[in-house]
Amino acid sequence: MGSIENGASNIGKGRIVDFRSDTVTKPTAAMREAMANVEVEDDVLDVDPSVDQLQKQTAKLMGKEAGLFVPSGTMGNLIAVLVHCEVRGSETILGTESHISVYEQGGMATLGGVHPRTVPNNPDGTMELSKLEAAIRYELDDHLPITRLICLENTQARCGGRCISAEYTDAVGELAKSYGLQLHIDGARIFNASIALGVTPERLVRAADSVSVCLSKGIGAPVGTVLVGTSEFIIKARRLRKALGGGMRQFGILAAAGLVGLRDMVGRLEVDHANARIMAEGLNAVKGLHVNMALVETNIIYAEVTSDSALTNTEIVEVWKEYGVLAMIYGRNMIRLVTHYHITEDDVSFALSFFKTTSLQTSRNSSTSGRKNIAEIVDVCC
């Protein structure tokens, strides 16, 4: 596994720093208190007051008419696709590296009979407008499905947590409308994009007909996504939520945590972004590692383990784990790290101290794939 100086394995004893994902965040003390004291009702039979408040508040933040609290982002995206593509033989256009395309089991086809038509994502997460337009199938040709929906993702996780601009989204929205299509945004990390770009969430999704807004990543709620759109869209979405098993009873216990997250956690995401930058710069200074700093826009970091390293990515992650630092192996020669509110600047320094006691600087004979786009080699979700 390469050389480790004597005593190095004791450095991380009793301390855990978890960079695997922002999904590992635990509810804050304020969330736990709110969950313990919230008044709840049966949200299937009637309306749970906290669920109702969360739905309305999220819809307002996104500039939409109504919202629906669902257990997961995958369910929110699936419901959105199925509502927009309720006619059999429909088609959805989405990026090759989108979470919906890669990590949601092809649910639109499996459960909804909707055909996915993919367009390559650029390194910055966008898709070429000309390629999007060329993919649209709108003629009544018996041989072809009919395109009814375009999906974007913001931030675009597999491209490095890249932010999709309001101007680009507007352009896609205009294209969609010119062909009578709908636009859905998978906003799993929409608040990260908002903070990084200095643009309100409403502005980023103004062109969208629907948005799924995750509460269980950077803002730290334990469960849930809010799907937003028009009132008519949400009425149909609610029926589908029930059919998919997503209608829950005293859901307000979870909604209470989401409300605290919206109140307390969104504004502090800039801390996560700053820590990601510090971590990326530190890793990039290590011979045997390479981070494309242009990709580090939010809280996601991809570090390439180059041929100058004596250790593989798997070996680095395994040794790091001995220190109490957790990260994800990505593809053949990449490591992914994600910052969140449990990660402090001191935790970043602690993680980087590993490289002061471990040698990565003896060249390996094994070949590497070179500095390809992240999306070409990563293969882990969330």
The percentage of the chain sitting over the pLDDT mark of 90, rounded to a whole number, equals 81
Number of domains into which the chain is organized: 2
Tokens 């709108």 -> residue = 138
Phi (first) and psi of residue 355, to 5 degrees: -75, -10
Tell me the average pLDDT of the chain: 91
Helical axes 269-284 vs 345-352, angle rounded to 10°: 20
Cα(79)–Cα(75) distance, rounded to whole angstroms? Answer: 6
Domain end position, chosen among 218, 245, 264: 264
User: For the segment 321-335, what is each residue's pLDDT rounded down to a tens digit?
Assistant: 988 999 999 989 999
Cα(146)–Cα(148) distance, rounded to whole angstroms? Answer: 6
Give domain status of residue 3, yes or no.
no
Q: Output the pLDDT for position 142.
A: 87
User: For the segment 103-112, what is each residue's pLDDT rounded down to a tens digit?
Assistant: 999 999 999 9
Give domain status of residue 1, yes or no.
no
User: For the segment 58-86, what is each residue's pLDDT rounded down to a tens digit?
Assistant: 999 999 999 999 999 999 999 999 999 99
Least confident of 100-109, 182-191, 364-373: 364-373
Cα(365)–Cα(352) distance, rounded to whole angstroms? Answer: 25
* String of DSSP letters for 229-241: E-HHHHHHHHHHH
Question: Residue 178 pLDDT more than 90?
Answer: yes
Domain that holds residue 113: 29-264
Q: Are residues 224 and 190 both part of a single domain?
A: yes
Domain end position, chosen among 210, 238, 264: 264
Burial class (CB in 10 A: 0-12, 13-18, 19+), 315: middle
Predicted confidence band of residue 361 (pLDDT cuts 50, 70, 90): low
pTM reported for the whole predicted model: 0.91
Q: Are residues 247 and 289 both part of a single domain?
A: no
User: For the segment 24-46, what is each residue's pLDDT rounded down to a tens digit?
Assistant: 999 999 999 999 999 999 989 88
Q: Are residues 183 and 133 both part of a single domain?
A: yes
Q: Are residues 72 and 85 both part of a single domain?
A: yes
